[in-house]
């Protein structure tokens, strides 16, 4: 059983998640900020990035909404996002704007 996380199973082995991206992402390690509710924000690390989305690393999932604005100050980037997958410390997001 794959519990809905897009991982293929083979017997008792769990394979890597199925790749569904149409654009390749560049590995990176940048400081970012998850901003929501006008003034609220949480720090994150941007682990990979493409024109369509990103993978973010966070301390925990508590309080992170399904939609927010990702800000990467060093790149002068501010993008509205929607979460498409979550683990305990990582988020996959697609840019919506």
Rounded Cα gap, residues 51 and 95, in angstroms:
8
At residue 8, the pLDDT reads 45
> pTM score > 0.85 for this model?
no
Rounded Cα gap, residues 78 and 34, in angstroms:
10
Total domain count for the chain? 1
Beta strands in the chain (DSSP E): 7-10, 13-17, 26-36, 40-49, 53-57, 67-72, 77-86, 90-95
Identify whether 9 is part of a domain: no
Whole domain around residue 59: which residue ranges? 22-95
Identify whether 50 is part of a domain: yes
pLDDT in tens, 53-92: 999 999 999 999 999 999 999 999 999 999 999 999 999 9
48: β partners: 27, 55
Identify whether 39 is part of a domain: yes
Q: Residue 64's domain is classified under what CATH number?
A: 2.40.10.220
Q: Which helix (H) or strand (E) holds 60?
A: none
Q: What is the mean pLDDT of residues 5-20?
A: 50
Rounded Cα gap, residues 77 and 66, in angstroms:
19
At residue 27, the pLDDT reads 83
Identify whether 57 is part of a domain: yes
At residue 28, the pLDDT reads 85
Identify whether 2 is part of a domain: no
Identify whether 6 is part of a domain: no
Identify whether 75 is part of a domain: yes
> How many Cα atoms are found within 13 Å in the side-chain-facing hemisphere of 16?
2
pLDDT-based confidence at residue 9 (cuts at 50, 70, 90): very low
Identify whether 34 is part of a domain: yes
């Amino acid at each position: 059983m794959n519990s809905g996380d897009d991982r293929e199973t083979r017997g008792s082995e769990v394979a890597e998640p199925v790749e569904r991206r149409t654009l390749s992402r560049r590995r990176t390690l940048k400081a970012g900020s998850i901003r929501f509710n006008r003034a609220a924000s949480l720090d994150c690390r941007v682990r990979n990035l493409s024109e369509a989305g990103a993978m973010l690393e966070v301390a925990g999932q508590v309080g992170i909404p399904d939609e927010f604005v990702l800000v990467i100050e060093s790149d002068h980037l501010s993008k509205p996002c929607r979460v498409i997958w979550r683990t305990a410390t990582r988020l996959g997001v697609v840019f919506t704007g």
